[in-house]
């Protein structure tokens, strides 16, 4: 299967990767963009989530939090096969869109893409991996381990493949996204699990902006070195693009500018809709209930000015002293990355 390198010709079909993380409002963003009604977009339900099956498999195998060098032979075989299948599906979608001359706009949580070696080092310490090298998908049926690549690339995707995309990062204030993630996990998995070691590892893995920041830094370096200024539609943008969830909810002009930049029809933006008429799987209900029952944007979900000290007291009241403190610690640790990325956000 072909893997075309980045081509900056203005008549070349574009590939836009929406890089998000849990509870940042990415489903709301897709609802507003109404990609299914954009005739020049190769539509994919829920924005793609091509590597969601990998997350579900790891959850089923109970190995999401396991040290990469402690995976059983069966776990490793299943995980590797699933990775290749997910990558194959993504490549097929891209090739189909390119053959039709349509835009590719797909979404993925950055933690879905994290290399198992990088994840293990993050969870267990930089020196905890002694034998394993980073995992990388090279083609529809090839997963290799390598000795060198960009220091900012901690994904299972190669440098070359990442460079074929124009990235759009969606961020949200950690004081909103992190406790929201914890609430959803309690609904989905139960409080007992969330207090277990695997539950704590899950929190540690997701309640961070490391994966988004690293991937952002990768693209900044790439575009600087390539001196790429991409132009699409009616507007020019400095890549990578960063969107803040507050702007999605309160600044329609930002979405208009995004449409002009990537070539979407701004007149097809949707600000009102009917409640969802299909019930999602049980595991997804915990994460989609609010949006699926909504009919418009709830601007009260915007962060605005947040006092983390005050929020910390609320979290300890809601989740208990230990869990509330854990969330506060993760929020504070993420603020440097959040503030940096927010300073780079797309403005009206």
Overall number of domains in the chain: 1
pLDDT in tens, 187-241: 888 999 999 999 999 999 999 999 999 999 999 999 988 765 544 444 556 899 9
How many angstroms separate the CA atoms of 119 and 109, rounded?
14
pTM for the whole thing? Answer: 0.90
Task: Tell whether 222 is covered by a domain.
Answer: yes
Task: Decide if 322 is inside a domain.
Answer: yes
Instruction: Give the C-alpha distances (Å, rounded to integers) separating 231 from 217, 237, 243, 341.
Output: 21, 7, 18, 22
CB 277 within 8 A of CB 335: no
Residue 4 domain-assigned? no
Q: What is the pLDDT of residues 270-296, one digit of tens each?
A: 998 777 666 666 555 555 566 556 677
Instruction: Quote the mean pLDDT of the chain.
Output: 88
Strand partners, 107: 18, 48
Q: Is residue 1 part of a domain?
A: no
Structural domain span for residue 169: 15-343
In a domain, residue 10? The reply is: no
Whether residue 9 lies inside any domain: the answer is no
Provide, rounded to the nearest whole percent, the portion of the chain with pLDDT above 90: 75
Given pLDDT bands bounded at 50, 70 and 90, which one contains residue 11?
A: very low
- CA–CA dist 212, 216 (Å, integer): 6
Whether residue 153 lies inside any domain: the answer is yes
Contacts of 174 (CB under 8 A, 6+ apart): 207, 209, 330, 331, 334, 335, 338
Q: Is residue 5 part of a domain?
A: no
């Amino acid at each position: 299967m072909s893997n075309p390198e980045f081509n900056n010709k203005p008549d070349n079909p574009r590939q836009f990767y929406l890089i998000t993380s849990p509870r940042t409002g990415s489903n709301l963003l897709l609802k507003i963009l109404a990609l299914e009604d954009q005739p020049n977009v190769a539509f994919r339900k829920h924005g793609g989530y091509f590597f969601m099956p990998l997350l579900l498999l790891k959850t089923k195998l109970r190995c999401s939090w396991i040290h990469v060098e402690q995976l059983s032979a069966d776990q490793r075989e299943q995980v590797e096969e699933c990775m290749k299948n997910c990558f194959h599906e993504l490549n097929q979608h891209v090739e189909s869109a390119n053959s039709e001359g349509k835009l590719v706009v797909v979404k993925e949580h950055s933690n879905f893409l994290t290399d198992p070696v990088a994840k293990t080092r993050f969870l267990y310490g930089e020196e905890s991996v002694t034998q394993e090298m980073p995992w990388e998908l090279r083609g529809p049926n090839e997963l290799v381990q390598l000795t060198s690549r960009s220091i900012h690339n901690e994904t299972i995707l190669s440098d070359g493949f990442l460079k074929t995309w124009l990235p759009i990062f969606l961020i949200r204030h950690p004081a909103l996204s992190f406790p929201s993630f914890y609430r959803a996990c309690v609904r989905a998995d139960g409080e007992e699990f969330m207090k277990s070691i695997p539950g704590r590892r899950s929190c540690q893995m997701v309640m961070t902006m490391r994966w988004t920041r690293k991937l952002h830094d990768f693209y900044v370096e790439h575009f600087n070195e390539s001196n790429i200024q991409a132009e699409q539609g009616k507007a020019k943008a400095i890549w990578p693009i960063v969107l803040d969830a507050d702007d999605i909810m309160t600044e329609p002009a930002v979405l208009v500018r995004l449409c002009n930049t990537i070539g979407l029809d701004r007149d097809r933006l949707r600000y009102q809709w009917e409640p969802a008429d299909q019930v999602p799987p049980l595991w997804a209900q915990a994460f989609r209930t609010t949006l699926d029952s909504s009919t418009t944007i709830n601007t009260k979900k915007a962060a605005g000015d947040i006092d983390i000290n005050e929020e910390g007291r609320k979290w300890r009241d809601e989740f208990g002293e230990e869990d509330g403190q854990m969330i506060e610690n993760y929020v504070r640790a993420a603020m440097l990355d959040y503030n940096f990325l927010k300073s780079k956000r797309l403005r009206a």
